[in-house]
Structure 1
Amino acid sequence: MAYDPQIHHRHSIRLKGYDYTQPGAYFITICTKARQCLFGNVVKSEMQLNCLGHIAFNYWQTIPDHFPHIELDTFVVMPNHLHGILIMTDKHAGEQQFCAFNQHLDCNR
């Protein structure tokens, strides 16, 4: 079933006031544009990655190469999305990365 905002009333589960730059384990989901099945198919209850699925799988595994304060936990690539757990190990590194991408924020807290 395709996502229909009239039926599927999604609400943010983010905690108001929580500092998501602090160390911890974070469950994330990354979806493809328009939920297109770009990464492969489920065949007999098993995910069969296609070329793009293997790219998503391999790039996920390189996250710690780009962000040394991030450790990977379990993850899965599905036909149109990816679920994974990222573990942020250093608050200051997380703040620095966050501020590098959001220069308009006051990062001298």
Structure 2
Amino acid sequence: MQIKRQAEGKHRGSPLHHVVQWLKTTTTNSYIKGVKTLGWKPFDKKIWHRNYYEHIIRNERAYQNIARYIQENPIKWRTDKFYRQ
């Protein structure tokens, strides 16, 4: 029996957009169930943005910039023009 090896660098598993679609669907359905059965606050419009943004981190500097953004961005939410309490 010959074992086929995956080509180096070739993607295995579900494409990212399928994973994101599954995550959005599952969490939205769970939230709707929570609204109906647990008294959670209903949401206006949509829970998720229509698309998502992906970025390949190619070096240490890019990683540091993205990590800093992730850490500091929540601090800025209250000053965002779209922020609602």
How does the TM-score come out when normalised to structure 2?
A: 0.30
Higher helix share: 2
Larger C-alpha radius of gyration, 1 or 2? 2
- The answer to which structure, 1 or 2, has the higher relative contact order (CA under 8 A, 6+ apart) is 1
Higher strand share: 1
